[in-house]
Chain A
Amino acid sequence: MQLVLEKRAERSTKIAILSPLLAIALTLVTMSILFAILGKNPIAALYVYFVEPLTDSFTLMEIAVKATPLVMIAVGLSLCYLANVWNIGAEGQFIMGAVCGSYLAVVTNGTGAGPWVLPAMLVMGAAGGALWAMIPALCKVRYGANEILTSLMLVYVADLIMDYLVRGPWRDPKGMNFPTTASFDPVATVPTLFETGRLHWGAIVALIVVALAAVMLGRTIKGFEIRVVGAAPRAARFAGFSSDRLVLFTFAVSGALAGLAGIIEVAGPVGVLQPGISPGYGFTAIIVAFLGRLNPVGILIAGLFLALTFIGGEGAQISMKIPLDLTKVFQGILLFYVLACDSLILYRIRLIATPKKAIHGTA
C-alpha cells in the first residue's frame, strides 16, 4: 500500500474553510504532547493558554490590543502573498514606522505642540514603513534581487537603527541611562477607547483597514489585478497588468500598514520608543495572513486567535512556569500545519495498492 496525492479537478472550498481548523486541532494535539514532555498537565496548560484569557474583561481587551498590529500587518502581507510577492520583512517596516513617527513625538516633547502631532505621526509612520519596504521592492524590480532575502535582512538593519537612536540621540536625559525615549506627550498618544484598560483607537483603525481591504480585493480592478498576477502571471501580462508595478504597489501598501501599526503601537499601548516594542508582530503576522486564508475577514479572526496565544502564553508563564518561548514554538507548529493542510485544497490523499512486480524474461 502507498499514499499518493491526487490532484482534484476543482479546488475544494470545503477544505479551504476546514483547513485552518484542522491545522489548529493538530497543533493542539502536538502542544499537548509537548506539555506532557515538560511534565505539565496538558489539559490544565491548554486551559490556561486558550480559555482563561477569555474569561476576564481585562485580558479580553488585551487580546484586542495585541491583535490590532497583527491584523493590520497581516492584511498588508496578504496583498503581497496573493500577488506572489514575498515580503518577509514586515517586522522591519513596523519598526521603521515606529521610528519615523516617533521622531515627531521626540522633537515636540514638552513643547506644548497642538493636536496636529498625532495625525502627523501616523502619516509619518505609514510613510516610513512604506519607504523601508520600497528598498526590497526596487531591488527586485530593478536588479531582480530576491525580495525574501532583502526584506528579511532589512529587519535587522531597522532594529539596529532604532537601537542606535534610543541609546544615542533620542535617549531620555532623565531616563537613568535606560535605552528609551522620554514618555510621549498626551498630544502624541493614541487615546484609549474606555476609561480602564489599554484598548485604544488603533483597534478601530484595524477594523477600517480590514473593511477597505475586503472591498478592494473583492470589488475593484486593483484587487482583481493582484489576484490574477498571483494566480496566473502570464495571463496577467496578457491582461495588460504589469507585475513590476504590482510589486511596488503591494510592497508600498504592506509597508505603510506595518509602519502605521508600528507608530500606533508605540504611540498607544507602549507610550515610548524603546527596544522590544514588538514581540515579533511582523513575523507572527505571516502566520496570521495564512491562517486567515489571505482573506481580510479571515485575518481578523486569525489575528484574534494568535493574540490569544500571546496572552495565554504570558498567563501560562506566570501560573504554570511554562517558558514564554513555547508561544513561538506554538506559532511555528501552527504555520507548519496550516501550510500542510492547505495542500489538501488542491489534492486529495488516496491509499492505493502497490502494483505487483512484473515477471521479466517472458518475451
Chain B
Amino acid sequence: MSNPVPVSNPPARAPLLQAIGITKLYGSFLANDSIDLDLFTGEIHALLGENGAGKSTLVKTMYGLIQPSAGELRWMGEKLELSGPSDARGRGIAMVFQHFSLFDNLTVAENVALGLDGVESFAAMSARLAQVSRDYGLPLDPNREVWRLSVGERQRIEIVRALMQNPKLLILDEPTAVLTPQEADQLFTVLFRLKSEGRALLYISHKLDEVKRLCDTATILRGGKKISTCDPRQETAASLARLMVGAEIGEVKATTARATTIPRLLINDLSLEPDDPHGVLLKGVSVEVKGGEILGIAGVAGNGQDELFAVLSGERFAEHEDNVIIDGHAAGHLTVTDRRRLGAAFVPEERLGHGTAPRMKLSENALLTGHAASHMVNHGFVDRPKTLETVDKTTKTFDVRKAKRDPEAASLSGGNLQKFIVGREILREPGVLIVSQPTWGVDAGAAAVIRQALLDLSGRGSAVLVISQDLDELAEIADRIAVMFHGHLSEPIAAADATREKLGLLMGGASAAASGGEKEAMHAVGA
C-alpha cells in the first residue's frame, strides 16, 4: 500500500465540523467504525469509497438523519447533537442528495418552497431563487414544472435550494453521476466559487479524476473504517483506487481481435409513444449491432433509454414487427419469452424487482428468465435440480459470493447480485445480449468481472448492446458508441474517435436535431 502524504493544516485553523470516533451499528453490522474527519472552511474535502464503504452513513449522521451509536460531532469547537435535518439546516449544514426529492408536477419555485424552513412569502422566495440562480450561473426558470426539466436542471434546483440557506457546509452526494462532462464542468466552476467564498464542501464521489481536479483533501473509507486522509493532487488515480478497493483491480481486455460478422440485432426506424405522461418519445431510432461487436449507448438518464430497453426486451411491443430484428427474425411483436427463444437475453438496470424477484431464492430467479429457453421446465413441471445447477454454475464462473447455496436475491450485495444476473444470461450463450447499466452501483472488482464477461461473450460472436451512463465503462468495452438524447439516437462513432468532449456535446443535444427544454429555460431566465 502506498504511503499517503498527510495534510498539514496550519495549527491556527480550527475545523468547522469535526467528527470524532463516529460509530454506527445496524444490528451487528458496523456501518461506521470510529471515523474521524475534520472539515475546514474554504476547502473541498472528498469522501471516497466503494459502495457500502460507509460514506452515506457518515454524511447522514452529519446531516442529522441518523444518530451515531458512539462518537460525537463538533461544530466550530462545540459539541453538536442534531435532532434532525432541519436542525442541521438551521446551523448552516446543507446537503444535495444523489436521488432528487422533487415533485414532478410542481414548479421549480414550489419545490424549493417545500424544502425550505423559512417564513418568507412565496413571492419573496421566488425572487430570491431567481437571484441566487443568476448569481451562481445556475439558470433556472422558477415557474417551470419539474417534469419538463432535464436531469442536470433538476440537480440545479437541489443545489440552488441548498445555497438559498446560505450554508457554511455543503455536502454533495455524487453530484456528477447524472451529468454530461460539460455540465460537470459548469458545476465545478460553481463549487470553486463556493470554496472561495469561504464555505466548506464535502464532496462524495468515486470518480477519481474529478476528485484529483477538484478537492484539496480526500478521506478514504473502506468497509466502514477510515483508511487514510491524503492530498488527492499528490496521488495518482491508481493509488487512490488501491486505497479504496484494498487490492489491485485487474484490467479488462478483449481476448482476441474480434471479427465482426453479420448484424445480429437490427433496430429499424423505431418510434414509440411513451406509456406514461412523463416518459420519453422514441423518434426514429435506427442502429445495428454485428456479431462480435459491443455497441455502447451513452446518454444522460431519462433520454429514452428505459423506453428503448423495454421495447427491445419485449416488455413493450414496437409499432411494426420489423422495427426490431433479432438474428433475422422480425421480433417487434414478439413477447419477452419468444425473443429469448430466438437467442436474445436481457439485463435490466434495476436489479431488485426487475431483474430479480427480491424475496425469491436464486434458483427461482434463475427460472425467471431461464424458463423460456433452457430445459428447466418439463411438461409444465419445474426441474428444480436444473435451476440449482444454474445457480451453482453462475456462482462458480462469476465468483458470486453468498452466505448459503440458495439464498434470497435480496440478501446478496449489489455487486454479487449483478454478477449473478449477468452470469445467468451469459451462461445461456445468447446470440444477442442487451444490457442496461451493467455496473451501476457495483464495486470495482465486480465491475471488472462483468465487463470482462461482456467482452468475452462478444468475442465468441454474440452481438452486445450496452446502455450506460458511464463513459469510462463504454470507452473500456465498446467498439462503437451512439448517444441518446430526447428520444433520438445519434449515428454511432468508433470508440477510438469518441472523445469525452464529442460525446458530451451529443449528450447535451448538440446535433442538428437538438432543441427544446434546456435552451428555452435558459432564455426565460436570461431575459
Interface, chain A (partner B; CB < 8 A): 9-11, 219-222, 224, 227-228, 231-232, 234-240, 242, 355-358, 360, 362-363
Contact = CB atoms under 8 A, between A and B. Distances in A.
Contact of B314 (A221, A222, A240): A240
B83 A232 contact: no
Nearest to B346: A238
A27 to B, nearest CB: 28
B381 A219 contact: yes
18 contacts: A224-B382, A227-B360, A231-B359, A232-B353, A232-B357, A234-B354, A235-B353, A235-B356, A236-B357, A238-B346, A238-B348, A240-B314, A240-B337, A240-B371, A242-B335, A356-B81, A358-B87, A360-B87
B336 A240 contact: yes
Given A231-B360, A240-B337, A355 B83 contact: yes
A312 to B, nearest CB: 37
A344 to B, nearest CB: 16
B380 interface: yes
Given A357-B83, A358-B82, A363-B91, A11 B313 contact: no
B90 interface: yes
Interface of B: 27, 67, 75-76, 78, 81-83, 87, 90-92, 313-315, 335-337, 340, 346, 348, 350, 353-360, 364, 367-369, 371-372, 377, 380-382, 408, 410-411
Given A232-B358, A240-B336, A363 B76 contact: yes
A224 B381 contact: no
B417 to A, nearest CB: 13
Nearest to B27: A9
B360 A238 contact: no
A239 B381 contact: no
Nearest to A223: B382
B354 A235 contact: yes
B229 to A, nearest CB: 26
A219 B382 contact: yes
Contact of A228 (B75, B90, B91, B368): B368
A260 B198 CA distance: 78
B128 to A, nearest CB: 21
A332 B145 CA distance: 47
B354 A238 contact: yes
Contacts of B91: 362-363
A239 B81 contact: no
B90 A231 contact: no
Contacts of A362: 75, 78, 91
A256 B246 CA distance: 61
A228 B357 contact: yes
Nearest to B380: A220
Contacts of B82: 358
A311 B314 CA distance: 54
B456 to A, nearest CB: 24
Contacts of A357: 83
Nearest to A215: B381
Contacts of A219: 381-382
Contacts of B382: 219-221, 224
Contacts of B359: 11, 231-232
